[in-house]
Structures are given as C-alpha cells and as structure tokens.
Chains A and B, each alone.
Chain A
C-alpha cells in the first residue's frame, strides 16, 4: 500500500490490519504518541472541509508529528494555475505524506501518479472519500464486533451520496451482509451500483419506508437529503420529513442496533436521539481520527 485513493484499493486483509491498528491506538494512545516524531503531514485542501482537515491534523499531532498546508485554493499555488502534479512534486520535497482534498474528481489519483511521498485522498468532489469509509467500517466493527451477517440499512440520498456508494462497495466484500436501501423513488441507488451489488452476491432490497425497515436492522446509516436534488420544494419537504430519525421511529429498532451518520447533519436525525446509546455518530467522529492515525502510520511504514 503506497497511497489511498479509493477504498477498493485496499484488500479486505489490508482493511482488517488498518482497523486492528486503529483499535490498538484507541486502546493505548500513549504507545503511539511519538511514532511520527519529526515527520510532516501536508494537508493540501483545494476546497475547504474543516472537519476532515481537523481530523487529519489531530491524527498527526497525536502521533507526535507536524502539519503544514493550506485550507482553500485561493491561498495555494493552484490559484496561480499550477497543476496538481507540480504541486505534489514540490510539496513532496518538504512533507513525508500528503492528505489532499480537491473539488475535481480524480485529482488525488493524478497526484499519486507523480508524488514522491504517499498521498491520501481526503475527498475528491462527489467521487471518493476513503477515510470516511474506513471511519464507517471502524465504527461498525467497534460497535458490533464485525461485519459478516449484518443487516445494514442505508437511508436518504442513495443516488448522489458518495459515502453510501463506497460503504456499499466495501461492505459487500464480507460474507452474509444484507442491505436494505431506504430512499424515496427519486433518490434510489443508481443501476451501476446495484449491478455491482448483484455481482458481489450480496442480498439487498429496496424500500421507501424507514419505519418498515427499522426492526430488522443491525446498522442504520443515515445521510442527508439535500434540497437541490429536488425539482420542487413541496416534494423536498414531504420526503425530507419522512426520512428524519426521531425517538419514536427508533422505538421500533433493536436494542443493540447502531445509528451512523457521516456528519454534518442538518435535521435528518432529531437531536433527541443523540443520548440514545444506539446513536454512534459522535463516537464515529472519534474513530475517524484513529483510522487516520492508523493510515498515516501504515503508509509511512511505521505501523506495528
């Protein structure tokens, strides 16, 4: 493993090793506090994403390393028209590893083809975001012990939601995982992704009702339903409200079910759900830091 651009660049075994390392870091952070001493992470954020950048930076600091970089294109060389390849070749002279966020799809892949140091895709437009998927996987594994045999509900915007597509691709590699795709007709999973699910042999079904699916789920992965996906406001409001998770809807869920959300949320999970032990989305944010620590260590060849 030299770079991480797409979650499917990693084999199931590589994912397993990363998640195990992330778990060990979480259990004994002090053991890793000096691992990246004198190492530098460059966070090249050609578009702002404060959450993701802070997660990478916190991860590097907790490993004893340093961070440099920029947080928007205006303050970077891209504003002067420099290519992604030239930027990473330059930055690779200063930094030991790069985390790149870019509004254009494929920019981190372009970077990885030229970079002298490892490149991590920290999100390329609406395309890939593999560290989010690792975060999701770590949360499911940590909360429920594994993946095989789980029934995973994915709710909301399944058409444009890249986190959903990557998570589906990653989870469908484990045996016996079932998917319940919960969305309005307008936001159903694209045929391309359904075909990939079929090919994986995973069992899946579609429904428009969150209530109907609730009792059978081990995991409920919520996503945002965005206004701009709809032609008219009335449709948006009607559908948005039917995919809001409330304590009442959660009442039908199993006691050991877990709710995940890539955050930020708007209103698709009622704040009243936050204190329910099944709400795992803030623990998920913490896990995001640990998987990024594990990833940085592994790509630098400093894992154990």
Chain B
C-alpha cells in the first residue's frame, strides 16, 4: 500500500503500534479540512510495527500532549517535498487537561471547572504529579 508523498505537511512517525487512533483523537485531527492519513501497523526496522499519521498541511499541533502520550514519536515537517525539520519529542514539563487526577482528596475532585495540570517530577522515570496534590499520574489509566 502506498500513500502519496506530501509536498507540504507533517508526518508523525514512530507512533507506538496501536496508539495512532488515540493520538489522532487527542490532536482532534478530525477537525482539519485537509487530507489526513492514519496508517496502522506499518513495518518498521526499529520497532517491528508502528503507526504513522500524515497531515497534508503544516498545522499547529500540541506537541507537549503527544510528547507525554508517546514520547518516541518523531515529528517531520515537510516543505516543498523536502524534510524541513525533524523533532524528536521530549517529555513536556507540564501537561494541561490530558491526565485526570484520581485523588479523591484533591481540590480537582470537588471543583469541576479546574483544569487538571500535571508537572514532570522525575524526567528519568517519566513521572508526572498533580500540581495541586502531588499525586502521581497513572500511565495508561486514562
């Protein structure tokens, strides 16, 4: 299967196989008017299988969010058919509105309007904690 080369756009490569759909939803790519391709289970020398997302336009994406969800992703920006920029994601220092705090004693449990915000507290282990109550985020518990 061949998906055409992009002239101008963004390729999210090396997405963990099976997570492409989730990344697509979180980034709200369904709201874009341009062509978007979600490729599942592509062959990868490094990873065996991987997912890929191609967006046929250079748009603003919240890289912090995807950096938290799947830090192995590479972001390629294509301009005039050439690779203009390649970014390897790092763990963001703060993640807003993605992780929910599960601590029933946390102020976020009673004030519905408050945005749930987590900060990176241990970059080696990728541990995030709620800025309000310091409770550790449970990965994959979303």
Contacts and interface: CB of A to CB of B under 8 A. Distances in A.
A106 B113 contact: no
Contacts of B108: 106
Contacts of B113: 83
Contacts of A84: 107, 111
A102 B132 CA distance: 12
A126 interface: yes
B131 interface: yes
Contacts of B31: none
A102 B107 contact: yes
Contact of B106 (A83, A104, A192): A104
For chain A, the bracket of interface size reads 10 to 19
A105 interface: yes
A68 interface: no
In order of increasing CB-CB distance, the 4 nearest A-B pairs are A106-B132, A105-B133, A106-B107, A104-B107
A109 interface: yes
A107 B105 contact: no
A105 B106 contact: yes
B132 A110 contact: yes
Contact of B134 (A83, A102, A103, A127): A127
Interface residues of B, number: 16
B2 interface: no
B114 A104 contact: no
Contacts of B136: 192
Nearest to A104: B107
Contacts of A110: 107, 111, 114, 132
A179 to B, nearest CB: 20
Contacts of B44: none
A103 B106 CA distance: 9
Interface in B107-142: 107-111, 113-114, 130-134, 136
Nearest to B134: A127
Contact of A109 (B109, B110, B131): B131
Interface of B: 103, 105-111, 113-114, 130-134, 136
B111 A83 contact: yes
Contact of B130 (A102, A106, A124, A125): A106
6 contacts: A83-B111, A106-B106, A106-B108, A106-B132, A107-B132, A109-B131
Contacts of A106: 106-108, 130-133
Interface in A96-129: 102-107, 109-110, 124-127
A240 B19 CA distance: 51
Contacts of B110: 104
A105 B108 CA distance: 9
A107 B133 CA distance: 9
A286 to B, nearest CB: 31
B111 A105 contact: no
B99 to A, nearest CB: 15
A124 B111 CA distance: 15
A103 B108 CA distance: 12
A202 B107 CA distance: 33
A96 B105 CA distance: 29
B47 to A, nearest CB: 31
Nearest to B136: A192
Given A106-B132, A110-B107, 15 more contacts: A83-B113, A102-B107, A104-B106, A104-B109, A105-B103, A105-B106, A105-B132, A106-B106, A106-B133, A109-B107, A110-B132, A124-B107, A125-B133, A127-B134, A192-B136
B105 A105 contact: yes
A229 B134 CA distance: 21
A84 B109 CA distance: 13
A276 to B, nearest CB: 37
A127 B133 contact: yes
A239 B29 CA distance: 58
A127 B133 CA distance: 7
Nearest to A126: B105
Task: Please indicate which of the listed interface residues B106, B107, B133 has the most CB atoms of chain A within 10 Å of its own CB.
Answer: B107
